[in-house]
Amino acid sequence: MGGYPAGAYPAAVPPRGLLPWALGLLILIPFPFVGGIASGIAMAVSGGASRRFGGAARENARAALNWGLTYLLVSTVLLVSHFVILSTLTADSPASGFYPIGIPITLYFAVSVFHLVLVIMGMVRASGGKIMHVPFAIPYLRA
C-alpha cells in the first residue's frame, strides 16, 4: 500500500499565519465592493483568532489583522465619500465629467489593487515562515 511506513509520519509544520493573509483574496469576489469589505473583515477576524499561536504565526496574524482593519477603514471612507460627493454635486444637474466626482472611487480601486499585491506578498512571506511587516498599517494591535 502507498503512504507512510508504519509509525513514520511527516513532521508537523508549525503555524505560520498564512490563513489571515490568504483571506485577503476575498477581494476577488465578483460583486462590486462586497469583496473588499469581506476581505477586510475576514482578515481581521482570522488574524485575531490566529494570534493564539506563537512565533511567526502570531506576528503574521497581527500584521494581517492591522492591515485588514486599515484597508476596511480606508476603503469604507473612500466609498462613502464617493457617494456623498456624487449626491451633492449632481443634486441640481448631471455631472459633466468623471472628475472630481470620480476621485474617491479611483483611489478606492488603486487602494484595492495595492491591497491585492500586499496580500500576495504576505502569503508568500508567511508560507516561507517569515514575518510580513506592514509599516503603514494603523497599529490597532501592537506587538
Could you give the residue ranges of the DSSP H alpha helices within the chain? 18-22, 34-50, 55-89, 103-127
Predicted confidence (pLDDT) per residue in 105-139, tens digit: 999 999 999 999 999 999 999 999 899 999 999 99
47, 69, 62, 37: which is closest to 138 by C-alpha? 69
Mean pLDDT of the chain: 87
pTM: 0.84
10 Å Cβ neighbour count for 8? Answer: 7
Picking from 71, 77, 59, the residue whose alpha carbon sits closest to that of residue 114 is 71
Instruction: Tell me whether residue 35 is exposed, middle or buried, using C-beta atoms within 10 angstroms of its C-beta: 0 to 12, 13 to 18, 19 or more.
Output: middle
- Residue 143's closest CA among 42, 39, 60, 20? 60
Calculate Rg over the CA atoms of the chain.
Answer: 20
What are the pLDDT digits (tens) for 49-95? 877 788 888 999 999 999 999 999 999 999 999 999 888 888 888 87
Q: What is the phi/psi pair of residue 110, to 5°?
A: -65, -45
Q: How many Cβ atoms sit within 10 Å of the Cβ of residue 76? A: 15
Domain edges within the chain: 18-127
